[in-house]
Amino acid sequence: MSETESSTSEVGELSRRPGRERGREDGKFGRYGGQYVPEALMPAIEELADAYERYVLNNEDGFMDEFRERLADFGGRPTPLQRADRLSERYDTEVYLKREDLLHGGAHKLNNALGQVLLAKYMGKERIIAETGAGQHGTATAMAAAHLDMPCTIYMGERDINRQRPNVFRMKLNGSEVKPVTTGRGTLKEAISETMRDWAATVEDTHYVIGSIVGPHPFPVMVRDFQAVISEEAREQTVEKTGGLPTDVVACAGGGSNTMGAFADFVDDESVALHAVEAGGSTLEVDEEAGVAPNSASLFAGEEGVLHGARTKLLQDSDGQIMESHSVSSGLDYAGVGPELAYLVDEGRVDPVAVDDDAALEGFHRLSNTEGIIPALETAHAFGYLEEHHEDLGERVVVNVSGRGDKDLDAAIEETDQRDVPNAPDMSMFTGGM
Amino acid sequence: MGNSEAIAAAFADGPAYVPYLVVGDPDYESSKAYVEALDRGGADVIELGLPFSEPIAEGSTIQEALVRALDAGMTPERFFAFAEELDVDAALVCMTYYNLIYQYGDETGPRPFVERAAAAGIEGLVVPDLPAEEADPLREACDEFGLDLVFIVAPTTRGDRLDRMMENVSGYVYVQARLGTTGARDDVSDQTTESLDRLREYDVPKAVGFGISTGEHAERIVAGGADGIIVGSALVDVVAEGVAEDLSTDEVADRLEALSRELTEGAERGYRSWTTPAESA
Ligand SMILES: Cc1ncc(COP(=O)(O)O)c(C=O)c1O
């Protein structure tokens, strides 16, 4: 590439916002973060850190301008900030919805996937690999790869493949290869390990599009920067619509990418309370003997440790073995969480809360039947929290609708069947005769 | 250039044979018989794998072995008991992932693990997910308790990174013969020769691993200038076969001893061709 001058256009400047400086220098967020990876990956990670600095932070070759343009034209940004009238009435507070479910592909995941696939292209890489839990990140990556004409392989746990058939089909439709991962319990953490193995063998021509603000530096800062467009818009939209900042921002947290995306530009606004809602699963108790946590609440119930390239909060037993996590939503079903969120929780800036499977399902049905929006089961956790804790919140709440629920209909039917969800539709006409 | 005299001695004369097995695979007692068979087969240093649930640097062979060992109840505590009970001459090195080292004991940080490892007779550590940049606390603990800290040099490691690793390494460097994860291969890569050339100026034993499975590989690697060979997956494969074919512990141990002999003899041949070169062609 001959011209390497940096552009100082307005879009380039946006990535220089103060709330986004954390972790950029050395990948550390207090005691969290870092680069704990096999030596074979270090050169690739250093190359990526360099590319992040040049293209994302300095807008070299107009990278950020192209990214913003593609996010608008291909992705459908900006997404609306919508007032939720019925919920506002129900909770006697102003509830606003940041509609990431309306982004192309149906979830916030495209912000990051498009950014990383485009970056890989600028770096001269020839192949994309990714891992996926709910299939939502895999779908977004497959779409971005098809859009930018890059071959793509996606690793997915066997159990998740069975939970998320529509997304597997979508990935394949977009020309990606989907590789089932059978190790362990066949969920996201095994898929991440498997993708790291592929990367260790192919680093020279392959970019690994990690799906959340997890992994070794520079992934947590880079993914946050790509997702920060959510809070950038939400902040402006709230001010425009209401004349002021929100009192609270609520987002579900698996790895934490929609979470940090929704929080990023509010972190410096001390008046805005930030609530990260984790999957409480069936209970917050853990079974040390069996090595199983029936939840995915690593911020809430985890302890410091090292997994998948970073020091962060993890669900682990006393020996340091990583636990099998659980959630009704496969996208939250992960034993770790982004190091930046772990740090902000320790600092008292982010309030970590957990909502169990039952409450999440109620949230799923409530948003569907009160507002006409079927949320992802991941997102539904944020609405479960709203129902349980609206009295603790201020008068203007923004909830991040991280994704839509089409992918979850099978799972929602099955899970609803298994319990007594008071606000669920009567499905008895389906039993027996289908 | 090292804390452990036993490891230094293992590399002092002739090529070192450094086999790896997963402790507790497929169960505690068989595994002990297997490690002792490696010793009889000529092991100079034995790398004992302490299983971690997310072994991102391993290929499928070793990963499955780690799962077998975890399922059979292996824990750090039992690992140390195992090391204490072993009856071997070879120096013992523990290979594991950083989270287990970090979590061990009551105080946070690597010190309690290293203290316990030293008490159990472990002479060194290999930690595949701990790059030199993050290694200071472990380095200090290893120096305090007289353990070596071995780093893995990849075919892609160059420049400042290589210097930083070589400043921190002790005992031996683990030269990764090719990119990718562990796993036995049919050939031995050209990347090895190139890596050894790059390391020539550093005064520390160089042991080559990843993909060595036969006496002939061992011969070529040592003839190419390696001070030692590290063999993991090929041996773990023998254990896996034993599980699949339901062989007796003795049978598997015999096979491990025989393969070890083949590997050490190959290494010796490679060493002779190196110390008494034929006319250069
Ligand atoms: C719709 C949706 N929301 C949230 C998540 C959780 O991920 P994160 O916490 O990284 O936003 C996922 C993950 O797949 C998802 O699909």
State pLDDT tens for residues B113-160: 999 999 999 999 999 999 998 999 999 999 999 999 999 999 888 888
Residue with tokens 């990418």: A257
Distance CA B107, CA B133 (A): 22
For ligand 1, whether the C-beta of A328 sits within 6 Å is no
Interface of A with B in 41-80 (CB under 8 A): 42-44, 46
The predicted structure's pLDDT at residue A34: 97
Model ipTM?
A: 0.91
Residue with tokens 């890489």: A125
The predicted structure's pLDDT at residue B48: 98
Nearest CA in chain A to B176: A40
The predicted structure's pLDDT at residue B188: 59
Confidence class for position B1, pLDDT limits 50, 70, 90: low
CB contact under 8 A, A309 and B129: yes
Domain at A387, CATH number = 3.40.50.1100
Instruction: Tell me whether residue A36 is in a domain.
Output: yes
For ligand 1, whether the C-beta of A253 sits within 6 Å is yes
Are A52 and A137 in a shared domain? yes
Least confident of A10-24, A218-232, B47-61, B172-186: A10-24
Instruction: Tell me whether residue A423 is in a domain.
Output: no
Parallel/antiparallel/unpaired status of strands A127-132 and A152-157: parallel
Domains and CATH numbers, chain B: 5-262 (3.20.20.70)
**Is residue A243 exposed (0-12), middle (13-18) or buried (19+ Cβ within 10 Å)?**
exposed
Are A392 and A412 in a shared domain? yes
A5, A54 contact by CB (below 8 A)? no
The predicted structure's pLDDT at residue B189: 63
B211, B230 contact by CB (below 8 A)? no
Are A176 and A306 in a shared domain? no
pLDDT < 50 regions, chain A: 1-9, 11-12, 433-434
Interface of A with B in 167-186 (CB under 8 A): 183-184
The predicted structure's pLDDT at residue A3: 41
Distance CA A371, CA A85 (A): 8
Question: Would the pLDDT of B280 be above 80?
Answer: no
Side-chain-side CA neighbours of residue A267 (13 Å): 25
Are A35 and A158 in a shared domain? yes
Nearest CA in chain B to A322: B53
Are A68 and A95 in a shared domain? no
* Ligand 1 atom with least separation from CA of A337: 9
B212, B188 contact by CB (below 8 A)? yes
Instruction: Tell me whether residue A372 is in a domain.
Output: yes
CB contact under 8 A, A36 and B129: yes
Domain count, chain A: 2
Q: What are the residues facing B174 on neighbouring strands?
A: B152, B207
Distance CA A61, CA B8 (A): 52
Long-range contacts formed by A144-147: CB under 8 A, 24+ apart: A144/A110, A144/A113, A144/A114, A144/A116, A144/A117, A144/A118, A144/A209, A145/A117, A145/A174, A145/A175, A145/A176, A146/A174, A146/A175, A146/A176, A147/A70, A147/A74, A147/A114, A147/A117
Side-chain-side CA neighbours of residue A310 (13 Å): 35
Residue that is last in its domain, among A179, A201, A219: A219
Instruction: Tell me whether residue A10 is in a domain.
Output: no
Q: Where are the alpha helices (DSSP H) in chain B?
A: 5-10, 28-40, 60-71, 76-85, 98-103, 111-119, 136-145, 159-168, 190-199, 215-223, 233-244, 249-275
Cα B215 to Cα B9, B119, B187, B253: the distances in Å are: 23, 35, 12, 18
Residue that is last in its domain, among A173, A196, A219: A219
Residue with tokens 């773990």: B236
The predicted structure's pLDDT at residue A15: 60
Instruction: Tell me whether residue A18 is in a domain.
Output: no
Cα A116 to Cα A109, A128, A140, A230, B27: the distances in Å are: 11, 9, 11, 17, 44
The predicted structure's pLDDT at residue B281: 41
Are A304 and A369 in a shared domain? yes
Are A308 and A354 in a shared domain? yes
Confidence class for position B183, pLDDT limits 50, 70, 90: low
Classify each residue of B246-278 as buried b or exposed e, where b means 16 or more C-beta atoms within 10 Å of its C-beta: ebebeebbbbbbebbebbbebbbbbbeeeeeee
Instruction: Tell me whether residue A427 is in a domain.
Output: no
Q: Which uninterrupted H or E stretch holds A277?
A: strand A273-281
The predicted structure's pLDDT at residue A8: 45
**Beta carbons within 10 angstroms of residue A149's beta carbon:** 9
Q: State the residue range of the domain holding A277.
A: 81-105+228-416
Residue type at A432? G
**Is residue B168 exposed (0-12), middle (13-18) or buried (19+ Cβ within 10 Å)?**
middle
Are A153 and A232 in a shared domain? no
For ligand 1, whether the C-beta of A136 sits within 6 Å is yes
A312 CA → ligand 1 middle, Å: 18
The predicted structure's pLDDT at residue A302: 94
**Beta carbons within 10 angstroms of residue A95's beta carbon:** 26
Instruction: Tell me whether residue A6 is in a domain.
Output: no
The one catalytic residue among B36, B47, B219, B268 = B47
What's the order of all strands across the beta sheet hosting A177-181?
A177-181, A152-157, A127-132, A206-209
* A46 interaction partners in chain B (CB closer than 8 Å): 161
Residue that is last in its domain, among A158, A184, A219: A219
Are A252 and A317 in a shared domain? yes
Are A197 and A340 in a shared domain? no
Question: Would the pLDDT of B224 be above 50?
Answer: yes
For ligand 1, whether the C-beta of A255 sits within 6 Å is yes
Are A136 and A61 in a shared domain? yes
Are A356 and A247 in a shared domain? yes
Distance CA A406, CA A425 (A): 16
Q: What are the residues facing A180 on neighbouring strands?
A: A156
- Please give the share of chain B, as a percent, with pLDDT higher than 90: 80
Distance CA A98, CA A353 (A): 20
List pLDDT tens digits, range A202-260: 988 999 999 999 999 999 999 999 999 999 999 999 999 999 999 999 999 999 999 99
- Cβ neighbours of residue A152 under 8 Å, at least 6 residues apart? A127, A128, A129, A130, A141, A142, A145, A146, A175, A176, A177
Instruction: Tell me whether residue A1 is in a domain.
Output: no
